Amino acid sequence: MAEIVLDKVTKRYPDGALAVSDMDIEIADGEFVILVGPSGCGKSTALNMIAGLEDISSGELRIDGQRANEKAPKDRDIAMVFQSYALYPHMSVRENMAFPLRLAKVDDATVKQKVEEAAEILDLTQHLDRRPSNLSGGQRQRVAMGRAIVRSPKAFLMDEPLSNLDAKLRGQMRTSVSKLQKQLGTTTVYVTHDQTEAMTLGDRVVVLRGGIVQQIGSPQFLYDHPANLFVAGFIGSPSMNFVPATLEEGVLKSPLGTITLTDRVRRLAEAADAPREVVAGIRPEHFEDAALVEETHRASGATFTAPVDVLESMGAEKYAYFTVEEELATTAELQELAADAGATDVPGGGSTIVTRLSASSEAREGQQLQVWFDADRIQLFDPSSGRNLTYSG
């Protein structure tokens, strides 16, 4: 167990490409930290630098207060779970899990005991003498976890450990990873590009973009108070709706109608010296079928009426999709997010507003629907810098 500190850690490749830039993260002992971001954001590079598999160009990495930049991976006492599992195919499950202990010259009796303990925890006892090639994806994943936990390292590093599993198994394994980490209380750094994993697993989430830390905070904090457009668009599923708007005297003119901002939002925007042209962001869950909103509550929001393009009924809730006449807000950040999600491949996919309605809504596809949204939950962003103008951290 250990605390890991990244102090202005930078990775620059020989060809000049900057993979990670001035990364400052303090990971407390026993904490579960998630590094999240779209592909190519430098999250795996950061993890490899903590592991010692890649050199740090500048800055300092401290493990338990000691500079670790020059330490070889084997001397850092950190275990890693790879995306591909990287099991040794010529060894049985037992030998795979015993490998780190054998290298550490642990005596045979202790090796046997520790491997069996780990196998017990991970439900692998009956597979100990099989070869990795005879195991299912989920079992292989557990063997990889077993190999990491068996020697009680200072910290675990996990590089998208669940991304090769199918959706159902991924959900199950997500829960067991979380349980295991709490049970062992070992500092864990977990890399993923899946915002659901980031939201559900971590004590704290680090959002990365282009090698630069965008924001660090608890999942709920990032969801409620994104520092910029990128974080706002990345965290949350379905993601936040963004519309271009003009802000004048506390009144917001947008494709969703004219909205009078609440005092709280107006004060924040004024304090942030908001420009006239802004990007307004509203999460799908802050919309509701106007018919289901109580009269007294209605005043605190605004409504718009539009035909429902597509209605997805999920049982517990309904997702209604609307098309807005005007172009939706596009900035570099949002384009990057859209590209990462593959949305650019879907023609017209970018000009849709997603709303989450109660299951009791009587919305029908193709029919007009009056939709209410909470004006107090609107977030305003600067279109040029992406900064959140209503940030209240």
Partner 1 sequence: MAVTTGRKARWALIDVVVVVYALFPVLWIASLSFKTKETLADGNFIPREWTLQNYADIFATNEFIRPLINSLGIATIATLIAVVLGMMAAYAIARLDFPGKKALIGVSLLIAMFPQISLVTPLFNIESALGLFDTWPGLILPYITFALPLAIYTLSAFFREIPWELEKAAKMDGATPGQAFWRVIAPLAAPGVFTTAILVFIFCWNDFVFAISLTSTEASRTVPAALSFFTGTSQFEDPTGTISAAAVVITVPIVLFVLFFQRRIVAGLTSGAVKG
- Residue ranges binding partner 1 (CB under 8 A): 51-53, 72-74, 78-80, 82-90, 99-100, 103-104, 131-135, 137, 140, 147, 151, 157, 164
Least distance in angstroms from the C-beta of 83 to partner 1: 8
Least distance in angstroms from the C-beta of 206 to partner 1: 21
Least distance in angstroms from the C-beta of 40 to partner 1: 19
Whichever of 85 and 304 has its CB closer to partner 1, that residue is 85
Whichever of 72 and 299 has its CB closer to partner 1, that residue is 72
Least distance in angstroms from the C-beta of 245 to partner 1: 45
- Token pair, residue 278, equals 């802004």
Least distance in angstroms from the C-beta of 131 to partner 1: 6
Whichever of 14 and 315 has its CB closer to partner 1, that residue is 14
The residue with tokens 């959140």 is 388
Least distance in angstroms from the C-beta of 90 to partner 1: 5
Whichever of 143 and 265 has its CB closer to partner 1, that residue is 143
Whichever of 161 and 301 has its CB closer to partner 1, that residue is 161
Whichever of 89 and 348 has its CB closer to partner 1, that residue is 89
Whichever of 19 and 199 has its CB closer to partner 1, that residue is 19
Least distance in angstroms from the C-beta of 200 to partner 1: 23
Pseudo-torsion of CA 207, 240, 324, 298, nearest 10°?
-150
Residue 220: how many other CB atoms lie within 10 Å: 11
Bridge pairing between strands 310-313 and 317-323: antiparallel
Phi/psi of residue 209, nearest 5 degrees: -145, 125
Whichever of 139 and 215 has its CB closer to partner 1, that residue is 139
Q: What is the DSSP letter of 204?
A: E
Least distance in angstroms from the C-beta of 257 to partner 1: 49
Least distance in angstroms from the C-beta of 104 to partner 1: 6
Least distance in angstroms from the C-beta of 101 to partner 1: 9
Whichever of 56 and 261 has its CB closer to partner 1, that residue is 56
* Whole-number Å distance between alpha carbons of 232 and 386: 10
HSE, side-chain direction, 13 A CA sphere, residue 294: 2
